[in-house]
Chains A and B, each alone.
Chain A
């Protein structure tokens, strides 16, 4: 299964490397948020000594992951349409590897995008903890969140079987999930009912964990909690996607 996953992952990476612009296009929206909203709100939001740009960057990173990974299901549908999936299924390749390779490819792509966003934020002057160890920890969270949402996108693709509702669901999910999290606004500023939703929103845990390690005063407890929640989220989403894929064949 691992060898199958590696060969298929390699294929997707090769195709992505041949179309680098696509990876960059999905960065446009998070970049606009970073540039415009960061500048717009920095004087309104009072965060004590903390810089609003530094506060916002983890939220924007998570947004990048969401925008990037929600396309994974669309490309699965295109592969089904093109007959590529049939070509794999008629071979002895592991079915788990087909889903896993797609999800890992999508996650690798969002990690690259997250690095570009961090670089832009650093150029814009955000005060972030850029030590390699903490950056690596932040990227682990990005990876887990990427796996979770890419798996959900693939699972929905199989359940819905059509591109239009999948894109609609992706768009519908993305923004509310971000607003119902601590991505853009500290939790204490939220109304109670949003705080409740935020408490069960995996995005909140991802944002908090990334913020905890990119802060100039890292907090390992918050990071640890995020790591556990996101590992469970990624595992459950992946299991659902694989089950949906296998059920479809029977």
Chain B
């Protein structure tokens, strides 16, 4: 195998009549690397994975996987890859072991090899005690782990993961991250994953490809992408953008500490040198121009800022939408009503036992030490601007204390700023980098 595990050149997939799901997409993934395709729903992530994994044909381009052209050597490609799709695809009325045995047979493995591989993978994914239970008794997280184990049974060189943690709660998501990370580090597995979770791309991948409208906008390491945004990110929200708000923007961007700006509907994203120190100056400009600010948040640049820079929209705005219309992708035609769509719900929460094992896991210990951080990396602080806008926001509900939401953003009032700067979040900020 060459140093490149996956090479995609000019990939174009058109769904009738003229929907270019993927449009002249180029991508290269080195062997032993984890690459995340980060993009909103409908960006073309799943189609790219389906084309590279031989699941769907394409109209133009060339895709080489593990040294084989997917068009002419699909059987060799299938032997070299493991695929975990958005739908688990495992049979609920079979046991975990039976699912894995069948998978081994489909890859023409010998029974003795299948058996030893099952023991190995069940131990690795901590499924030993439940491997002989029916899958219908598994939690969502266990099913996902079994799904990955099935995809690995034939020892593939490359693993495709299409939204691997979609529908899982944050605890199960972290457990899966741990396993995926270990698979790459310990076994040198090349992994191409799609996600619309920023933390997932940030924590897991060596390279992130931001994909939108069927094209790769930029590829780089998560750190390099974030460093490409100079300074801190300040997001200013308005109820309405009128003359006063335009005036504020006009004067603000003339300041030497403003390094860039993007409008997103009624939100203004400013990239500011030494953001913490210059917030007050910005607020003074707002007051002078009588701009009605409803919310202001200060954060270090995240992949969302990078996403915003390259696509003009925030990925967070789109993430709650329904997933790609995969049944159209499967069929390559038709299927334009929503029956199947509604059948595809979110996953389940973890079982008690699994939750306990997560609490005791190395992953969590690493997080606490600041070596390998999940959501903590996203240091975001948000000021509730009650007094400035004259509107009562939800900050009072917090009793002035800092709270953390699932995205890891921090809500606090200005009086708590000192605490925020000295707290765990700040300590972890560098340790969390890959």
- Chain A contact residues, CB within 8 Å of chain B: 3-4, 7-8, 11, 14-15, 18-19, 80-93, 161-164, 248-250
- Given A90-B78, A90-B83, A91-B103, verify A84-B89 contact (CB < 8 Å): yes
> Contact at A87–B78, with CB atoms within 8 Å?
no
Chain B 54-82 near chain A by CB (<8 Å), digits 1 or 0:
11110000000000000000010011010
A87/B89 in contact, CB under 8 A: yes
What are 26 A-B residue pairs whose CB atoms fall within 8 Å in the complex?
Answer: A11-B94, A11-B98, A14-B93, A15-B91, A80-B327, A81-B87, A81-B340, A81-B344, A83-B86, A83-B89, A86-B87, A87-B90, A88-B106, A90-B53, A90-B55, A90-B81, A90-B83, A90-B85, A91-B78, A92-B79, A92-B106, A93-B106, A162-B335, A162-B337, A162-B339, A249-B56
Tell me the residues in window 86-105 of chain B with beta carbons closer than 8 Å to chain A beta carbons: 86-91, 93-94, 98, 102-103, 105
B339, A164: Cβ atoms closer than 8 Å: yes
Q: Which of A7, A19, A161, A248 contacts B102 (CB 8 A)?
A: A7
Chain B residues with CB under 8 A of A80:
327, 330
Instruction: Say yes or no: is B356 at the interface (Cβ < 8 Å to chain A).
Output: no
A250 to B74, CA, bound (A): 12
Asked if B17 is at the interface (CB within 8 A of a chain A CB), the reply is no
Nearest CB of chain A from residue B400's CB, rounded to whole Å: 48
B107 within 8 A of A: yes
Q: Is B346 an interface residue (CB 8 A)?
A: no
Provide the main secondary structure of the chain B interface: loop
Whether a CB of chain A sits under 8 angstroms from the CB of B331 is yes
Contact B57 A250 (CB under 8 A): yes
Q: Taking the nearest CB of chain A, how far is it from the CB of B419, in angstroms?
A: 47
CA distance A7 to B87 in the complex (A): 22
Interface of A is mostly: helix
Q: Is the CB of B98 within 8 A of A14?
A: yes
CA A249 – CA B56 in complex, angstroms?
A: 6
Report yes or no: A15 in contact with B57, Cβ–Cβ below 8 A: no
* Option from B94, B331, B344 in Cβ contact (under 8 Å) with A248: B331
- Please name 17 further chain A to chain B contacts, defined as beta carbons within 8 Å, in addition to the given A7-B102, A81-B344, sorted by A numbering: A4-B106, A7-B106, A14-B93, A81-B87, A86-B85, A87-B85, A87-B103, A89-B54, A90-B81, A90-B83, A91-B103, A91-B106, A91-B107, A92-B75, A92-B79, A162-B339, A164-B339
Contacts of A164 in B (CB 8 A): 339
Residues of A within 8 A of B86 (CB): 83
Docked Cα-Cα span, A3 to B110, in Å, equals 12
Q: Contact check, A11 vs B55: say whether CB atoms are below 8 A apart.
A: no
Interface set, chain B 335-358, CB cutoff 8 A to A: 335, 337, 339-340, 343-344
- B53, B81, B93, B107 — which one has the most chain A CB atoms within 10 A of its CB? B93
In the bound assembly, the distance between CA atoms of A82 and B83 in angstroms comes to: 15
Nearest to B82 among chain A residues (CB) is A90
Among candidates A4, A89, A163, A250, residue contacting B339 with C-beta atoms closer than 8 Å: A163
Of residues A11, A14, A15, which shows the largest number of chain B Cβ atoms within 10 Å of its Cβ? A11
Bound-state Cα–Cα, A93 to B335, Å? 26
For window 319-334 of chain B, which residues contact chain A by CB distance below 8 Å? 327, 330-332, 334
Known: A11-B91, A89-B55. A83 touches B85 (CB 8 A): yes
Give CA–CA (A131, B189) in the complex, Å. Answer: 61
Does A15 contact B93, Cβ atoms closer than 8 Å? yes
Q: Does B108 touch A at the CB level, under 8 Å? A: yes
Which residues on B sit within 8 Å (CB–CB) of A8?
102
Q: At the interface, yes or no: B150 with Cβ under 8 Å from chain A?
A: yes
Please, how many angstroms separate the alpha-carbon atoms of A181 and B41 in the complex?
A: 52
Contact across chains for B83 and A14 when beta carbons are under 8 A apart: no
